[in-house]
Amino acid sequence: MNITANTRPLGLLGYPVTHSKSPQILNEVCRILGIPATYMAYSVCPDHLKEAVNGMRVLNFIGFNVTIPHKVAIIPYLDELDETAEEIGAVNTVLNKDGKLIGYNTDGVGYLRSLQEETAFSLKNKIVTILGAGGAARAVSITLAKAGAAKVFIANRTQSKAEELANVLGTFTSASAVALLQAHEKIAESHLLVNTTSIGMSPHTEVMPVPADYLHPKLLVSDLIYRPEETKLLLSAKQIGARTHGGLGMLLHQAAVAVEHWFNETAPILQMRAILENED
């Protein structure tokens, strides 16, 4: 890339950021779209978050991504939140609009686009069970509820957290909470099951969030985990003839939506997917 005095910065704020593929993907996006910008990953410890955000403001960043552990903590340092970020209570994308830092959350819409593109699943009159009640569960469940799911069950190890999230969801649709290992009946009624927990993630690939006999063939089983591409949960679902949906698409589409916020242009999805799928 030809860096000149007009090249503007973009970046990722996280802690740590060493395994992120965002720099590769976003620099390629800028090259393809002809945008004079360069994207770097910044490992910033929580104590320095405020200074980092103000630094990005004065250095006139186009925008930046935000990842663990800063997605909630960054909110007081921004000037505005869009409606979805406000509802989710977390930010993963910031746009610098003429000096005003606006926070967005593209995780939920990224998930929904991936689900629709890869499975054509329609949410109308559908019952959904979400495994987990953390940040990812919040983004996905609020998005699915707003997109028309008829009923959402939140199944979590810590039931009080499931109840908190179900209360929030109650504004958008019918919602209730259950303990993770008591979710059998709720899953039996469901059309879509989404794992948002880290159970089954590499290197602990032999475990699954719920026993295999909770699954049934009419279920679409979706896992936000993208490494391995097929978790034990998805393999078990396939074995009984259920449809499956892996986590790579969400990662891709949440980045694509960020690109749209920053550049007001459609993201080059195919090239972005090729980088993500390239194991290294």
**Residue list for the binding site for NADP(+):** 83, 132-136, 156-161, 224, 247
Q: Which residue is nearest to ligand ATR (CB)?
A: 134
Secondary structure (3-state) at 160: helix
Q: Pick between residue 96 and residue 141 the one whose CB is nearest to ligand ATR.
A: 141
Q: Binding site residues, as ranges?
A: 20-22, 67, 83, 92, 107, 132-136, 156-161, 224, 226, 247, 254
Query: Residue 161 interacts with ligand ATR (CB under 6 A)?
Result: yes
Q: How far is the CB of 204 from ligand ATR (least distance, A)?
A: 9
CA dihedral 231, 233, 237, 239 (to 10 degrees): 70
Do residues 221 and 232 make contact, with C-beta atoms less than 8 angstroms apart?
A: no
Q: Pick between residue 71 and residue 146 the one whose CB is nearest to ligand ATR.
A: 71
Query: Residue 137 interacts with ligand ATR (CB under 6 A)?
Result: yes
**Helical segments of the chain, H only:** 22-33, 49-58, 83-88, 107-119, 135-146, 159-169, 184-189, 232-239, 248-263, 269-277
Secondary structure (3-state) at 140: helix
Q: DSSP assignment of 29-53, as one string?
A: HHHHHT--EEEEEEE--GGGHHHHH
With CB under 6 A as the contact rule, which of the stretches 74-82, 113-121, 129-137, 140-148 interacts with ligand ATR?
A: 129-137
Query: Residue 135 interacts with ligand ATR (CB under 6 A)?
Result: yes
Of 96, 143, 197, 231, which one interacts with ligand ATR (CB under 6 A)? 197
Of 11, 63, 110, 132, which one interacts with ligand ATR (CB under 6 A)? 132
CA dihedral 187, 129, 276, 17 (to 10 degrees): -120
Query: Residue 210 interacts with ligand ATR (CB under 6 A)?
Result: no
With CB under 6 A as the contact rule, which of the stretches 36-44, 134-142, 241-249, 255-263 interacts with ligand ATR?
A: 134-142
Both structure tokens of 70:
């800063």
Both structure tokens of 86:
């406000």
Distance CA 147, CA 192 (A): 14
Q: Binding site residues for shikimate, as ranges?
A: 20-22, 67, 92, 107, 226, 254
Query: Residue 140 interacts with ligand ATR (CB under 6 A)?
Result: no
Q: What is the DSSP letter of 15?
A: S
Both structure tokens of 89:
């209570």
Q: CB count, 10 Å around CB of 158?
A: 13
Q: Pick between residue 16 and residue 241 the one whose CB is nearest to ligand ATR.
A: 16
Q: How far is the CB of 134 from ligand ATR (least distance, A)?
A: 2
Of 95, 199, 219, 256, which one interacts with ligand ATR (CB under 6 A)? 199
Q: Which residue has the tokens 């589409």?
A: 253
Sign of dihedral through CA atoms 15, 17, 22, 24?
positive
Query: Residue 156 interacts with ligand ATR (CB under 6 A)?
Result: yes
**Residue 71 annotated in active site:** yes
Burial class of 202 by CB neighbour count within 10 A (0 to 12, 13 to 18, 19+):
exposed
Query: Residue 157 interacts with ligand ATR (CB under 6 A)?
Result: yes
Question: Which of 71, 146, 186, 232 is flagged as catalytic?
Answer: 71
**What residues are annotated to the active site?**
71
For binding to ligand ATR (CB under 6 A), which residues are involved?
Answer: 132-137, 156-158, 161, 180, 196-199
